Structure 1
Amino acid sequence: MESMMKPAALLIHVRDWEAGFIWYRKAFPNAIVVEFPEFEFRALRIDDFMIEILRSDEKVASGKAGTVMYWSVQDLVEGVSHFRNLGAELYRGPIEIENGLGMCQFVDPFGNLIGIRGPLNKALKHDI
């Protein structure tokens, strides 16, 4: 069973669905918008992976709750700049990890955590 499992979708809960969708569309500009008119729903597709922005409710609130999805970036400094320019707040890191990589976490404007990891140019680390 494990060999058949791979990530399929990430559900991100936000209070304001339209604002959340617009923000995540900017955060992942290469994602393709997928419309599901029968469900009055849109999602973002990256290859065969879906980012689904949902309205938070009494069962699932938005915010930091312990699970963080990390996205691979080609350059950590550029990734930090990208998310900061969108209004995300640096929450944790950046820290150096294995094989010359670094990682950090951001809080999106809706209170959720987003992680990025990628090559960490030590000479530029002070710019983060």
Structure 2
Amino acid sequence: MLRGLTTVSHFSDDVPAAVAWYAELLGIEPYFQREVQGKLAYVEFRLGDYQHELGILDRRFAPPGAGTPGGTMTYWAVDDVEATYQRLLDLGGTAQQSPTEHGPGFVTASVIDPFGNQLGVMFNQHYLDVFTGRPA
């Protein structure tokens, strides 16, 4: 039924500002951009081991109620939760959950980005085990 993650969408009233923030955070530029009525409306970054997509969407196209903190949390795999969490704060994120160990091999943290979206990061040993065990 569910086959895997395709795109994680974050919403913004100022897409160019959100793109600049995420480009600074990720150290990469988006690979796809779309304008609607001459205004940047959607941008995608591909990142990580599986080239998952992080989309930045103009809030006017978001489903009702989407993009507000609460509900579902997506965690991005990172090697160092504390360093990543600090970088997110240094770039203007607002603390939501400081680094928290949930058992051996599982540490999470989250911030609210400057555009009102939850951004979770996680060290997840299971993720690493799956990644290193996949066929080349």
TM-score, shorter chain, exceeding 0.5:
yes
2:53 to 37, 50, 53: 50
Aligned residue-pair number? 116
Shift of 1:19: 0.6
Aligned to 2:19: 21
| Cα distance in structure 2, aligned partners of 1:26 and 1:20 | 10
Secondary structure of 1:99 counterpart = coil
| Cα distance in structure 2, aligned partners of 1:20 and 1:38 | 15
| Cα distance in structure 2, aligned partners of 1:87 and 1:20 | 12
TM-score by length of 1: 0.76
Identify the range of structure 1 (56-65 vs 103-112) with the bigger mean alpha-carbon deviation.
56-65
Shift of 1:80: 1.5
CA, structure 1 residues 92+36, in 2 after alignment: closer, same or farther (shift >3 Å)? closer
* C-alpha RMSD over aligned residues: 2.4
Deviations 1:41-95 (A, max 9, x none): 4311124321110111273553213121101111122111211111111112322
CA, structure 1 residues 94+37, in 2 after alignment: closer, same or farther (shift >3 Å)? closer
Shift of 1:21: 1.0
| Cα distance in structure 2, aligned partners of 1:56 and 1:83 | 22
| Cα distance in structure 2, aligned partners of 1:105 and 1:36 | 27
TM-score by length of 2: 0.72
CA contact (8 A) 1:13 1:60 kept: no
Aligned to 2:32: 35
Secondary structure of 2:84 counterpart = helix
Aligned to 2:106: 101
CA contact (8 A) 1:84 1:90 kept: yes
Runs of 5+ consecutive residues of structure 1 not aligned to the other structure:
120-128
Residue pairs, 1:87-98, within 5 angstroms? 87-98=92-103
Give identity over the alignment, percent: 23
